[in-house]
Amino acid sequence: MRTFTNLKILIRRAALSLFAFMLAFSSLPASASEEEPLTGTAFFLDTVTTLTIYGSTDETLLTRCWDLLDEYENLFSRSIEGSDVWNINHSEGKPTTVSDETAFLIETSLTYSELSDGAFDITITPIVDLWDVLNNPGIIPTDDEIDAALAHVGYEAITVDNNTVTLSDPEAQIDLGGIAKGYIADALAEFLKSEGIQSALINLGGDVQAIGKKPDGSDWNVGVLRPFGEVSDIIAVVQCDGDSLVTSGTYERYFEVDGKIYHHIMDPQSGRPTDNNLTSVSILSSSSMLGDTLSTTCFVLGLEEGMKLIESLDGFEALFITEDEAIFRSSGFPED
């Protein structure tokens, strides 16, 4: 039985964005001297983006951010004909020339595929399409269907040579859904900083990138949501000063059959939604792009292997939540 419609999920994601925004401001002192931020919301790459910018009244900052989002969507979207990703996926094994940004994202993805022994794999596309979690009316693919799709999954098929990308398997396809949003958040932050902004919050569907601190000099409070909880149900609060907090969770996009959740973070080994007792992984770091990649990677790796990976990397901390709502923090992840 299908319990969530597309629309409901979108509304929920919009509400999540809005809530993270409200939380960030809830602890501001109610002093009369506070300036009003520039704020705006837009919908790109299936994600609600909210910007909150302090220290400027220049409304064109917002429109220029939307232009940037538009530009990136036109490079990274799988469904926009003529995007870099669309061109690669329709190249039938022939070399494709792509932008610097796309080549960089694919190269970064490959680094994390190697680091995680294939847990992160942008060639997961045939499996993503087979499950079609957002539109699935409750149909579980058969083993044969999964095996047929898995035959075209494997990051080893990708070669990047400067701006040329080649897929050695003509039926392979890539999907940057596990990394692109983070890259875009970083790019928006870079743009705003280059315009002199020192205090802002960029929220892409609940993934947050802070610029500096709040205007009153205190840290931003960013919430980690209780998986499957109410929109306002926060399980942990993280103080952010220019940091990024990115979460991958089963509750974000899923359908349900006979009480079992089938979500959007796929295990490239099984060809099925990752089933390892985790409901969410949040990564705290200075890079939204790597936080995005690592939240998906650690989710697929599971608590033990994911934690090991995080502890082996400098500058990344993680908070894992299991199905019974136990919370596991890496050694440097701040306590509430």
77 near ligand ADP, judged by CB under 6 A: no
85: which residues sit within 8 A by CB, 6+ positions away? 75, 76, 77, 78, 102, 174, 175, 176
**Count of residues that interact with ligand ADP, criterion CB under 6 A:** 20
Q: How far is the CB of 217 from ligand ADP (least distance, A)?
A: 31
Choose the contact partner of 84 out of Mg ion, ligand ADP, none; CB within 5 to 8 A by kind.
none
153 near ligand ADP, judged by CB under 6 A: no
Question: Which of 73, 84, 186, 292 is the binder for ligand ADP (CB under 6 A)?
Answer: 292
For residue 85, give the amino acid letter. V
121 near ligand ADP, judged by CB under 6 A: yes
Question: Which of 73, 175, 186, 219 is the binder for ligand ADP (CB under 6 A)?
Answer: 175
Binding residues for Mg ion, per CB under 5 A?
Answer: 178, 292, 295-296
- Residue placing its CB nearer to ligand ADP in the complex, 51 or 127: 127
Q: What is the spatial distance between Cα 268 and Cα 142, in angstroms, rounded to a whole number?
A: 16
Question: Which of 252, 289, 329, 330 is the binder for ligand ADP (CB under 6 A)?
Answer: 252
- Residue placing its CB nearer to ligand ADP in the complex, 297 or 330: 297
Question: Which of 248, 279, 282, 287 is the binder for ligand ADP (CB under 6 A)?
Answer: 248
Choose the contact partner of 121 out of Mg ion, ligand ADP, none; CB within 5 to 8 A by kind.
ligand ADP
Residues 208-247, mask of contacts with ligand ADP (x by CB under 6 A): ----------------------------------------
Q: Are 69 and 101 in contact (CB under 8 A)?
A: no
Q: What is the spatial distance between Cα 204 and Cα 182, in angstroms, rounded to a whole number?
A: 8
- Residue placing its CB nearer to Mg ion in the complex, 56 or 280: 280
Q: What is the spatial distance between Cα 45 and Cα 17, in angstroms, rounded to a whole number?
A: 14
Q: Which residue is nearest to ligand ADP (CB)?
A: 177
- Residue placing its CB nearer to ligand ADP in the complex, 54 or 112: 112
- Residue placing its CB nearer to ligand ADP in the complex, 38 or 45: 45
Chain contacts with ligand ADP (rule: CB under 6 A): 120-122, 124, 128, 175, 177-178, 181, 248, 252-253, 264-266, 268, 292, 295-296, 300
